[in-house]
Amino acid sequence: MFIFFKKLQELNFEFETIKDKLNTLVYSEDLHYKELTKKYLYLNQFAEKYIQYCNLMRDKDNTDKLRISDEKDIRDLACIEYEDIIKKQVTLEHEISKLFNEKDTKEKKTIIVEIRAGTGGVEASLFVSDLYRMYVRFIDRNQWKYEVLTSSHNMFSGYKEIIFEASGNNIWNAFKFEKGVHRVQRIPSTETTGRVHTSTATVAVLQEVQENEIDLKLNELRIDTYRASGAGGQHVNKTDSAIRITHLPTGLVVTCQDERSQQKNKSKALKILLSKLYEKQNIDSEKQLSHARKEQIGSGNRSEKIRTYNFAQNRVTDHRLGFSIYGINDILNGNLFKLINKLNK
């Protein structure tokens, strides 16, 4: 089934409900009436697409039955018409997907960014720190807000993983192309022979969702507490404040230990879990989570890069665009505007 069909069905139901309410109300300057009218006009575009899609699917089923007709002329005509319907279906599904993407862009002003070390050991962890700092400075330049949800430090330096949320107008458009494998080529500070190392980090960008946007049942969750480890003050290893939430149907596991409060860690972990489940649902309702996430962030192999940061040549190259910018320090200091503008064209 088309990935957005259920959502389209729900919005059409909401549209019909509002239409019935408006039919029983008398026009007035009442704020409630105005809000209903505004929502009615907004949902109308989704309702129209829903009707178009249902009609097209009905025609598709009817035509498909005629393709096995005993009469050759009918079969031939049905095959031609069926191919035409398939083309219309692809076009319509693209239009609907675009409509939902625009809806997300308008409504979602908070994102969750996950940066993980890929290949390269300690150098990969240092690169995670560089990317995190780059995004934070880009956020500051835009006067947006951010908060770290959870992090895991490398035992030497840098991060094995860091997850943060950021909010602001149009922030999804700014970050949606950052997901993928980022590659760095440079001479590590620990390298004595001057040899250039290649390391990677993976970036996932998720839209924050509320609990009512996901059908999440408490009996599908296993919530474990344990003692936090690493940086964090005197409470570390003294209280069971760290939280691990496992979503049993998918096997997805989220942990959080940055806060002293167990409840705060639970709230942050749940926020990350909801966003990951929402991402999975929107990518493809029939795919397994591991395959869905692989499409976004890959395995971290060097060959799956979307962007390379080459220190020796003072250059950042986006491989999707075949476009390079010189002045790597400027980019890492958060000046991503030229890259993002090109990607959004």
- pLDDT beyond 70 at 314: yes
| Residue of 310, 305, 303, 302 whose CA lies nearest to 331 | 310
From CA 145, how far away is CA 164, in angstroms rounded? 10
pLDDT in tens, 123-167: 999 999 999 999 999 999 888 999 999 898 887 788 999 999 999
Task: Output the furthest CA–CA distance in the chain (Å, rounded).
Answer: 82
Reduced to 3 states (helix: H, G, I; strand: E, B; else coil), residue 271 is helix
From CA 324, how far away is CA 305, in angstroms rounded? 14
- pLDDT beyond 90 at 191: no
Site of tokens 């997850």: 163
- pLDDT score recorded for residue 168: 86
From CA 126, how far away is CA 156, in angstroms rounded? 10
Average pLDDT over residues 28-42: 69
Beta-strand runs (E) in the chain: 110-117, 145-153, 159-167, 180-186, 197-207, 221-226, 242-247, 252-256, 305-310, 315-318, 323-326
From CA 122, how far away is CA 124, in angstroms rounded? 5
From CA 94, how far away is CA 186, in angstroms rounded? 41
- pLDDT score recorded for residue 338: 85
Please list, in sequence order, all residues whose beta carbon lies within 8 angstroms of the beta carbon of residue 177, skipping any fewer than 6 positions away.
Answer: 320, 340, 343, 344
From CA 255, how far away is CA 272, in angstroms rounded? 9
Reduced to 3 states (helix: H, G, I; strand: E, B; else coil), residue 298 is coil
Cβ contact 227:240 at 8 Å: yes
Q: End-to-end alpha-carbon separation of the chain, Å?
A: 31
Cβ contact 147:272 at 8 Å: no
Whether this model's pTM surpasses 0.75: no
| In the chain, % of residues over pLDDT 90 | 39
Containing 81, the helix (H) or strand (E) segment is: helix 72-107
From CA 311, how far away is CA 329, in angstroms rounded? 9
23 or 275: which carries more pLDDT confidence?
275
The total number of residues shown for the chain amounts to 345
pLDDT in tens, 78-121: 999 999 999 999 999 888 888 887 665 555 578 999 999 999 98
Listed range (62-76, 235-249, 269-283, 316-330) with the worst mean pLDDT: 235-249
Beta-strand runs (E) in 43-153: 110-117, 145-153
Q: Can you list the domains of the chain with their CATH numbers?
A: 5-106 (no CATH), 109-210+296-343 (3.30.70.1660), 212-290 (3.30.160.20)
Average pLDDT over residues 308-312: 96
Average pLDDT of the residues of the chain = 83
Site of tokens 């330096």: 157
